[in-house]
Amino acid sequence: GRAQPRPRPAAAMQFMLLFSRQGKLRLQKWYVPLSDKEKKKITRELVQTVLARKPKMCSFLEWRDLKIVYKRYASLYFCCAIEDQDNELITLEIIHRYVELLDKYFGSVCELDIIFNFEKAYFILDEFLLGGEVQETSKKNVLKAIEQADLLQEEAETPRSVLEEIGLT
Amino acid sequence: MALKMVKGSIDRMFDKNLQDLVRGIRNHKEDEAKYISQCIDEIKQELKQDNIAVKANAVCKLTYLQMLGYDISWAAFNIIEVMSASKFTFKRIGYLAASQCFHEGTDVIMLTTNQIRKDLSSPSQYDTGVALTGLSCFVTPDLARDLANDIMTLMSHTKPYIRKKAVLIMYKVFLKYPESLRPAFPRLKEKLEDPDPGVQSAAVNVICELARRNPKNYLSLAPLFFKLMTSSTNNWVLIKIIKLFGALTPLEPRLGKKLIEPLTNLIHSTSAMSLLYECVNTVIAVLISLSSGMPNHSASIQLCVQKLRILIEDSDQNLKYLGLLAMSKILRTHPKSVQAHKDLVLQCLDDKDESIRLRALDLLYGMVSKKNLVEIVKKLMSHVDKAEGTTYRDELLTKIIDICSQCNYQHITNFQWYISVLVELTRLEGTRHGHLIAAQMLDVAIRVKAIRKFAVSQMSALLDRAHLVASSTQRNGICEVLYAAAWICGEFSEHLQEPQQTLEAMLRPKVTTLPGHIQAVYVQNVVKLYAAILQQKEQAAEPEAAQDVTQLMVERLPQFVQSADLEVQERASCILQLVKHIQKLQAKDVPVAEEVSALFAGELNPVAPKAQKKVPVPEGLDLDAWINEPPSDSESEDEKPKAIFHEEEQRHVKQRQPEADEEELARRREARKQEQANNPFYIKSSPSPQKRYQDLPGVEHIPVVQIDLSVPLKVPGMPASDQYVKLEEERRQRQRLEKDRKKKKKKDKERKGRARRRGSLLSESDEDVAPAQQVDIVTEEMPENALPSDEDDKDPNDPYRALDIDLDRPLADSEKLPVQKHRNADTSKSPEKEHVPVTEKKPKKPKKKEKKLREK
């Protein structure tokens, strides 16, 4: 019999998780439909596994019937799951590209930026990857799309300016 | 109105926004759960308000809480409300929340269809984009069916930003609604030549993913992709295309020949490691699938191996790891090319990174030969001693066993050596793999008849120091080997030198601390030993000694009768009664040995684990046909089970579709399996050799090979395998001399003939090393006419099966995607009229800024 229930794959990348050194989840993006319970289980298992690895170990590991590619940037771990035939190195490049995008957007990004603006981190990811596939290989285009979408967000974006709205400043 | 707005704004001023929530959680580390439940209460209040901004803020906070693991499915309807807000700011948050927490089971998802359709056709590309992104996460079969046509239309949108998203999401739509593939495919194919590189690469992505799963339907696209591959400079696209060719080549070998050249060029020229790695992998895959009929075949393999060696030698752990991984693929078909780099692989066994060591171990598996097995295992054994973590040590252990047992012990020339390796491994404390060692001991002892005497001597030594093996806790998995030891000593007791000593060892009080299933085997095999001893004593005319053994049994068996384990208790009580009966007979001087031995008469034959399943159905026998006609409808009322069967039968007869039949069969097979699993009388096919005593008169024919008695039979305590290494070397030396002598003779005889075949070419090839003992039962027993195929490996739940669709057949009218014309016509003009579940009463007019953007 099969050892583990197989998450039904539907994309090159199955999911991406960002978590801190303390094991706190900072972002999760699932490109395969899974129940909340299953997601939690996978997250818990992977966070533990990755955090238990020694710092100088390579970035890949086999897990269930998937390949896990992860990389640590400062206090954050970026962790992706791909399928057996997928390319680990290009996945590392995807992770790196995403970090670069965050960095450009926030201006030398740190964990706190992602915590306090987590929805932005998602928006950036969504312009870069769609359904687990790279949708835009040009950094410039991704950032341009985000900036323009941000422009559409009016004053409602910063609730403090509500004061301005009712003339209290 | 104005007042209401102001009121709403003031309300908002006192609401927490996301940042406040995050900060709050950070400040309440002590009572986080309590704080969050407070926040959720607040959020629930906020969601009740009319103000969409307040709602959006609440949903945004919920999305954050969802990430922390809190259930927010109760807010699904509110999320839809926010999704349908007219302002992009809110819409974006709504769709983000939906993509994070909606799934196929979310029932309100069906309310979103019209809203999503409206957003897809919004004049603002960002509305459309956000809807597409969200859809990619939560598209259901229903949504896919209803929106397939809208999305397909978007593939031709004027803005590349929308086109590329639409193309990518089409893949998800295909998966959920396979019927859409054929009607949408022509347009998708057009996109391969889209002027925008982003759209083009999206189309490549989707078609490559589709083709990877069902390559045969995409062969006709090969020329187009070939052109793309040789012209593209985008590494991301190249990698996809190369992967696609990897999938196509096995179906069209001619492609392989065309591919090798551009691929080797890329291997030589590229500086991108990811591309190099992909090329090497594909070349390997292509070469494997084509086996030999390729020009420059071995040159290409050599090139790959060379490049991989460079990766493995790199200081970057990642490249090292991947190099080893790819090397293992070559190993399967070209072991010789890889074996040349044995030094490198052995070196990696010392790497500080465990994952690299494990990869190297995988490679070793394929690198062993008769000649180097002993050396490699020796190296591994030394790593076992050094290993820090139990995980890695256990991995080493399984690898040693895998390496040695592969292909029916193909590489083992001396089983005494192997058994002593296994015995050495029992000294590992805290391993989880005791049962693996045990299984090997049993397998070797059963299948290599010539080794039984040696095995028995080693096993009895093991039983003798069982207190060492089982000394630590019950959790200690290594005590599993006692299971094998006890069984081997019992079953092959005729080979025991000192059966009485072993019997006493097996009856020690300490045995009762072993796990129940092991004790049960002890009890059963104690009787076999007892029978052997009785026979021995009676033949030697020592009735008193025979009675002493019986007395020992009567004294010691009660400790098992008291066992809490039912199996142990039951066996022990039966046997105790039996022994007591024997004792009575012995008191009357009745000879009993013959009859007691008859309990265990017969030879044991291993049976292949799948033997029973492989018995073919005899011709003319239809297992699904009714033996008796099923009862008619009128009868079915009174008895329920009959009704069920009847229904099933009808379905079966009427639908003669092969697919349905297959499903049905699979279901029945499953049901049968279930039933068998619950049926205690059903003899299951299990991987362990089944016990079958047969009354065949063939016992005398067992070839008993004389064992070289220069080997010390008992080596308690000390590492033993080394001794056998030396002995084996000596044996081989003798063998070689012998052979040389024969060869000379032969040469003299056939001087003019082509006598030197391989002997002179490969001076010391693997085949030359003849094993000291043969594996007698190499092919396990199979029923007559057994079918060799293994049907059970196919996965009936493969989600890509539905996409195995012929794409070249012209499109029929009936296949066209469902279009909802009246809606499509309206939406762009008056989107506000749509019925959407919005409580927002008066959608504000777009602000000036927004307007400007729209006009662009």
**Tens-place pLDDT, residues B347-367:** 898 888 888 988 898 888 888
Please tell me the predicted confidence (pLDDT) of residue A1: 36
Name B802's Cβ contacts closer than 8 Å, sequence gap at least 6.
B175, B178
Write the CATH number for A105. Answer: 3.30.450.60
Q: Is the pLDDT of residue B704 over 50?
A: no
Q: Does residue B140 contact residue B109 with C-beta atoms inside 8 Å?
A: yes
Instruction: For chain B, give the percent of residues with pLDDT over 70.
Output: 77
Q: How confident is the model at residue B484 (pLDDT cuts 50, 70, 90)?
A: very high
The DSSP code sequence of B753-796 is S---SHHHHSTT-GGG---SS--S--SPB--TT-----GGGS-T
Q: How confident is the model at residue A97 (pLDDT cuts 50, 70, 90)?
A: very high
Give CA–CA dist B273/B286, Å, rounded: 20
Asked whether residue B513 is domain-assigned, the answer is yes
Task: Tell which of A89, A91, A120 to mutate to test the B interface (max B CBs under 10 Å).
Answer: A89
First-to-last C-alpha distance (Å) of chain B: 32
Write out pLDDT tens, residues B415-425.
999 999 999 98
Instruction: For chain B, give the percent of residues with pLDDT over 90.
Output: 40
Q: Is the pLDDT of residue B836 over 60?
A: no
Asked whether residue A6 is domain-assigned, the answer is no
Residue at token pair 């206090």: A75
Return the residue of B nearest to A60 by Cα: B318
> Which of A31, A115, A162 minimises the CB distance to B22?
A115
Please tell me the predicted confidence (pLDDT) of residue B354: 86
Say if the ipTM goes beyond 0.90: no
Residues of A in contact with B88 (CB under 8 A): 149, 152-153
Asked whether residue B502 is domain-assigned, the answer is yes
> Which of A30, A131, A154 minimises the CB distance to B89?
A154
Write the CATH number for B512. Answer: 1.20.58
Whole-prediction pTM value?
A: 0.69
Give CA–CA dist A29/A32, Å, rounded: 9
Please tell me the predicted confidence (pLDDT) of residue B469: 65
Looking at the DSSP assignment, which residues form a beta bridge with residue A133?
Answer: A130
Name B546's Cβ contacts closer than 8 Å, sequence gap at least 6.
B533, B534, B537, B538, B586, B593
The domain total for chain B is 1
Return the residue of B nearest to A26 by Cα: B67
Write out pLDDT tens, residues B689-702.
433 444 444 444 54
Write out pLDDT tens, residues B184-226.
999 999 999 999 989 999 999 999 999 988 888 999 999 999 9
Give CA–CA dist B131/B116, Å, rounded: 6
CB contact under 8 A, A123 and B92: yes
Under DSSP, the state recorded for B616 is P
The domain total for chain A is 1
Give CA–CA dist B132/B129, Å, rounded: 5
- Closest of B767, B756, B777 to residue B607, by C-alpha: B777
Asked whether residue B549 is domain-assigned, the answer is yes
Average confidence (pLDDT) over B587-609: 84
Asked whether residue B582 is domain-assigned, the answer is yes
Average confidence (pLDDT) over B107-123: 92
What mean pLDDT, rounded, does chain B reach?
80
Tell me the pairing of strands A76-82 and A129-130: unpaired
Q: Please report, as a single letter, which amino acid is at residue B392.
A: Y
Asked whether residue B575 is domain-assigned, the answer is yes
Average confidence (pLDDT) over A23-45: 90
Domain range spanning residue A20? 13-166
Domain range spanning residue B562? 498-602
By the 10 Å C-beta count (0-12 exposed, 13-18 middle, 19+ buried), B292 is classed as exposed
Return the residue of A nearest to B321 by Cα: A58
> Which of A28, A33, A85 minimises the CB distance to B243?
A85
Asked whether residue B469 is domain-assigned, the answer is no
Give CA–CA dist B260/B258, Å, rounded: 6
Please tell me the predicted confidence (pLDDT) of residue B842: 44
Asked whether residue A125 is domain-assigned, the answer is yes
Asked whether residue B565 is domain-assigned, the answer is yes
